[in-house]
Amino acid sequence: MAVEDNALIKLLRLGHMRFEHAKYERLAEGIDENVVWHTPGDHPLSGTIVGLDAVFEWLRKSAEVTDGTFRAEIHNIATDDSLAAVVSTYRGERKGMTLVMPGVQTFRFDPVSNKVVEARIWVYDDVFVNKFWSA
């Protein structure tokens, strides 16, 4: 199967695009209603949240506190039938700080529904990320 035909890669690229354009409700098409979402660090957006509504609130809040500048710029996606790793650069601006940082997002999919059931964010510099989101 060609990379461009991989349903999970298409889903992840579409999801990132919808996040970037604040189309959160459309993200429900690819995220399970009981999703578990892990964000590293010690800041207001860190921790584990459960459920689609909680994820939407997290996405809205990350956009709100960065005046819509926060995004994950995709460089590469590796996937199999139920797991994916997205290599990205996280970008955003907040209170005079600029975030430009490599990171990885991992996603676990339900192979029947092809929806994300778990997501985990990995960042290069936890100290800076804590400072950025806590400002």
Per-residue pLDDT tens digits for 76-129: 999 988 899 999 999 999 999 999 999 999 999 998 988 999 999 999 999 999
Task: Out of 2.130.10.10, 3.30.70.330, 3.40.50.1950, 3.10.450.50, select the CATH number for domain 3-134.
Answer: 3.10.450.50
pLDDT over 90 at 4, yes or no:
no
pLDDT for 62: 92
pLDDT over 80 at 21, yes or no:
no
pLDDT for 2: 47
- Closest by CA position to 37, among listed 14, 17, 19: 19
Q: Which pLDDT band holds residue 32 (cuts at 50, 70, 90)?
A: very high
pLDDT over 70 at 11, yes or no:
yes
Contact 101, 109 (CB under 8 A): no
pLDDT for 41: 94
Torsion of CA 47, 52, 58, 62, to 10 degrees: 130
| pTM score above 0.75 | yes
Contact 46, 133 (CB under 8 A): yes
- Closest by CA position to 31, among listed 52, 47, 61, 53: 52
| Cα–Cα distance for residue pair 35/14, rounded to 1 Å | 18
The 10 Å Cβ neighbour count of residue 123 is 20
pLDDT over 90 at 24, yes or no:
no
- Average pLDDT (33-60) is 95
pLDDT over 80 at 5, yes or no:
no
Residue ranges in the chain assigned as alpha helix (H): 7-20, 52-64, 126-134
pLDDT for 111: 86
Output the average pLDDT for the chain: 89
Q: Which residues contact 26 (CB under 8 A, 6 or more apart)?
A: 18
